[in-house]
Amino acid sequence: MLLTPDAGLRAMLTTLWGPGEVEWTHYEHGRGAIEHLFTEPPDLLIVDNDLPDIKGLEVAAIVKSENVYRQLPIILAVSEAVVAESSWCGVEVDDLLITPSSPTRVKALIFLTLARASRSFDANPLTRLPGNSSIIQRIQEMMDRKEDFALAYADLDFFKSFNDKYGFSRGDEVLMMTARVIVTTIRSFTGVKSFVGHVGGDDYVFILPPDTVEEACKRVVASFDSIVPHFYDEEDRARGSIVSTDREGAIKTFPLMAISIAVVFNEGGRLTHYGQASQIATALKKKAKENKKSCYVLDSRGRNAVRENSD
């Protein structure tokens, strides 16, 4: 959506993309536009700072103050003179289009703003890893293209009892650590297609080519097991367990946290829906959970076996 009284800017934008590629809805005033924004939010809003009835920044503030519209990327069109005299502290726009500007610059700016918005849209607020909808989208895309891949679901055992005893902020430290262990391990496989996402809580997902995933699981398990004791207090670490109250209020002993990974292979276009993958993973997870230590379970290809950290 374009919100500007500037006919020149409007003409330029409409020529940047052919018809059918990008559709612009144009308004010269703020009034009708805001209602439209709220009922049918566009993919992008370019708003001129100098509207006849309302300041562009106010439009931006209205949109950004509502959590349901916050993810709508906004570009503010302003002149050089306005930029110089404004204080940008606390301004909620995603980028600035300085007018006048060249068509190539404007096109690049729009592309980058949209790409940035898609990255941050559902990112996990703690780890900033892509969240659920990005994960599902990625998996579905790979399935649709019939690419071979291994999809790994990782989660932590006894995370809840750790949280109960040490509190949420210590729990978040462990979640951040786990995210880093997974990210650095997956990145260490260079030159392959990979992906790491954070479903939420202590649930993570990663994707690697089928022939590298077992090595990745081994390394994640080994790194996690060697680092996690350092997140406990001296005494619990020495004992190798924590004493905490369970859901019924009884005092119980829990082992140190472990990581379980369930791996689903998609080869030769075996799977067609994201749902199938998560179903298989859930069954494998159960198997992995029977083991109190860190381990990984591989599906199919006769490898349906639980492996522990051999160290």
Partner 1 sequence: MEEDLKTERKGQLLAIKDLPTLPTVLDEVSKLVARPESTTEQVARLISMDQVLSAKVLKMVNSPIYGFPGRISSISHALMLLGFNVIRGIIVSTSVFEVMTKNMVGLWEHSIATALASSTIARACGLRDPDEYSVAGLLHDLGKVVATVQLPELKIAIESLVKEKDLTYLAAEKELLGFGHDRINAWLATHWKLPPNIKEGMDHHHSPQTAQLYPEMAAVVHLADFLARLYEFGSGGDDNVPFVQPDAFKILKIKPKDLEAICDTLGERFVEVSDLKFT
Q: How far apart are CA 285 and CA 151, in angstroms?
A: 13
Nearer of residues 87 and 169 to partner 1, judged by Cβ = 169
Residue 185 CB, shortest distance to partner 1, in Å, is 8
Indicate the residue among 119 and 180 with the shorter CB distance to partner 1: 180
Question: What gap in Å lies between CA 223 and CA 209, rounded to an integer?
Answer: 21
How far, in Å, CA of 27 to CA of 41, rounded?
14
Phi-psi region of 268 (alpha: psi -120 to 50; beta: other; left: phi over 0): left
* Radius of gyration of the chain measured on its C-alpha atoms: 25
CA distance linking residue 149 with residue 209, whole number of Å: 5
Distance, CA of 73 to CA of 115 (rounded, Å): 10
At residue 298, φ and ψ (nearest 5 deg) are: -105, 135
Q: Which is nearer to partner 1, 219 or 270 (CB)?
A: 219
User: Which CB, 126 or 305, lies closer to partner 1?
Assistant: 126
Residue 209's identity, in one-letter code, is P
Task: CB nearer to partner 1: give 130 or 171.
Answer: 171
Contact by Cβ (8 Å): 235, 176: no
| Cβ-based nearer residue to partner 1, 231 or 274 | 231
Given a contact cutoff of 8 angstroms between Cβ atoms, the answer to whether 97 and 78 are in contact is yes
What residue spans of the chain are helical by DSSP H? 7-16, 30-39, 56-64, 80-85, 103-120, 132-144, 159-166, 168-187, 213-227, 234-239, 274-289
- For 123, which DSSP code? -
CB of residue 253 to partner 1, shortest distance in Å: 21
Compare residues 180 and 193 and give the one whose CB is closer to partner 1: 180
3-state secondary structure of 23: coil
Q: Taking the complex as a whole, how short is the minimal distance between the CB of residue 220 and partner 1, in angstroms?
A: 10
3-state secondary structure of 229: helix
Min separation Cβ 126 and partner 1, Å: 7
Minimum distance from residue 191 beta carbon to partner 1 (Å): 8
Interface with partner 1 by CB under 8 A: which residues? 126-127, 172-177, 180-181, 183-185, 187-188, 190, 223, 226-227, 230-231, 238
Closest to partner 1 by CB, 232 vs 265, is: 232
Give least dist CB 209 to partner 1, A: 16
Taking the complex as a whole, how short is the minimal distance between the CB of residue 218 and partner 1, in angstroms? 13
To the nearest whole angstrom, how small is the minimum distance from the Cβ of residue 203 to partner 1?
Answer: 17
Give the tokens for residue 48.
Answer: 């001129």
